[in-house]
Structure 1
Amino acid sequence: MEHAILKNNDPKTVKPPQPLYKQVKELVIDKILKNEWPPYSQIPSEHSFVRDMKISRMTIHRALRELTQEGYLDRIQGVGTFVAESRPSKAAKSIKEVDIAIRSRGNIHSCAVHFLQAEPIGPEGSSLLHIPEGQTVYRLYCVHRENNMPVMLEDRYVNPELAPDFLSFDFTGQTADTYFRKTFNLLSDDHKIEATLATPEAVHFLELDQAVPCLQHNRRTWIGNQILSSVQYIYPSNRHQITW
């Protein structure tokens, strides 16, 4: 059974205006932290939020999706959205972009772009970008270096309808993440990090002597409820550290 949405009209708790999706997130987090919505309980549907808060479904969808990515909620397709078993620490931070991490250590970042092109997307990329297989996408394939040592392989697909000028930029001088941050507003990400062994391709482009354990970081960047980019970063464990 879903809970009713309650509006907070207490003048003592009035805050400066915020984007609507952040207001929705604050409402949900407040109810979770006060245990009004305890772990495993079902929260209102997107339709209920739209009806009771008079906010667009896209805004509600973004707020709930980000809360799911941040660990506050669990969303089960065809069933509903539930409060997660455990909540994340507010001290959690985003992963630093590779060029920022390298420069913060006092080292030099550089990037070698091996190809930047339009190409038909395959089945794996299609499922990640939610684009029909065979449709044209943009692809960036590059290696990031720290003091000229290859430390990260980046393989990125971009939706050309959302970033039509992507191929015209020089990504040896700025990262794609920097380009997105400067070009678009209201971006959000989801992440998946796992251990893997370097493939022959990674061994070649990262100039490794042999296959070594690597950290694989898959990241999708969203504009509202549309996926702008899907990228895979490969970090050789013996050369690079991810900083938070």
Structure 2
Amino acid sequence: MASAPPLYQQIQQHLLDKIHSGDWPAHHQIPPEEQLARDFAVSRMTANKAIRDLVQQGYLTRQPGVGTFVTDRKAESSLVEVYNIAEEVRSRGHRYRSEVLTREVIEADEEVALRLGVRLGSRVFHTLIIHLENEVPIQLENRYVNPRWVPDYLDADFSRHTPNEVLVAACPITDVEHIVEAVLVDDQTAEWLSIATADPCLSMIRRTWSGEQLISYARLIHPGDRYKLRSSMRREAS
């Protein structure tokens, strides 16, 4: 028979369940250590460890003399790797869903032809998809795909598989390029993302290669208050 988890982990799981369920939203003040210690019949030191670990993991923040609060954990994506947004959302214990706005074949205009490395007027696949976390839009994905390398792209069931999953299955990604800038969006984009046109957003242009082949070009728009981008680099000791 499996042994029960340590008491501090049981407290942590209780706190995380409250956070993930939405019972305790961002900025909600959690019970003090003394109360948690009484509720779980443990020492204050054990309750302190449970809280301290969640502070280090970014779920909670302490305000000296005031209390401990649930953090506003923005969705986070790496600038140096390509992650599946559905997995990102689910890894936080949240619900993922997508809405497909457009699925079509178009002729590449000057920008798409330049970004995707095809001739002007070439036939390319185009999808426009909203990605949602707990029913809140966190990304508008405007993607163009070279049909030569992923001929079945538009046949994919995007309610079950993200474009990233479809591309990786067809052509393993070997290289990626990201360009990020702060932008304001038009009325239509603001409506899709459930924000105001005055709200700042992050725009990421992503191009992906498989070997020597340029597979996809996408413009990803994130509401600035719901998303953050991360980059890390390890330097070798000299």
TM-score, normalising length: structure 2: 0.60
Measured after TM superposition, the shift of residue 100 of structure 1 is 2.0
- Identity rate, percent: 29
Measured after TM superposition, the shift of residue 171 of structure 1 is 1.1
1:237 aligns with 224
Instruction: Tell me, yes or no, if structure 1 residue 183 matches structure 2 residue 170.
Output: yes
Q: Root-mean-square deviation (CA), in Å? A: 1.8
Q: How many residues align?
A: 153
Contact 2:81 2:176 in 1 (8 A): no
Whole-Å Cα distance in 1 between the matches of residues 140 and 163 of structure 2?
13
Measured after TM superposition, the shift of residue 103 of structure 1 is 1.2
2:13 aligns with none
Q: Which of 192, 212, 215 in structure 2 is aligned with 1:228?
A: 215
Whole-Å Cα distance in 2 between the matches of residues 209 and 121 of structure 1?
30
Identify unmatched segments of 5+ residues in structure 1. 1-91
Deviations for 1:65-93, whole angstroms, at most 9, x for unmatched residues?
xxxxxxxxxxxxxxxxxxxxxxxxxxx95
3-state SS of the aligned residue for 1:241? strand
Contact 1:158 1:229 in 2 (8 A): yes
Deviations for 1:108-165, whole angstroms, at most 9, x for unmatched residues?
1110000111011111101001111111100010100000111100000000111111
Contact 1:197 1:214 in 2 (8 A): yes
Measured after TM superposition, the shift of residue 95 of structure 1 is 5.1
Whole-Å Cα distance in 2 between the matches of residues 186 and 232 of structure 1?
17
Report 1:11-90 matches (<5 A).
Answer: none
Q: What amino acid is aligned across from residue 154 of structure 2 in structure 1? A: L
Identify unmatched segments of 5+ residues in structure 2. 1-78, 232-238
Q: What amino acid is aligned across from residue 123 of structure 1 in structure 2? A: E
Whole-Å Cα distance in 1 between the matches of residues 189 and 175 of structure 2?
28
Q: Which of 187, 195, 208 in structure 2 is aligned with 1:208?
A: 195
Q: What amino acid is aligned across from residue 217 of structure 1 in structure 2? A: M
Larger radius of gyration: 2
Q: What amino acid is aligned across from residue 113 of structure 1 in structure 2? A: V
Contact 2:208 2:215 in 1 (8 A): yes
Whole-Å Cα distance in 1 between the matches of residues 83 and 210 of structure 2?
20
3-state SS of the aligned residue for 2:177? strand
Instruction: Name which of structure 1's ranges 104-113 and 196-205 shifts more when overlaid on structure 2.
Output: 196-205
* Runs of 4+ off more than 6 Å: none
Whole-Å Cα distance in 1 between the matches of residues 218 and 158 of structure 2?
15
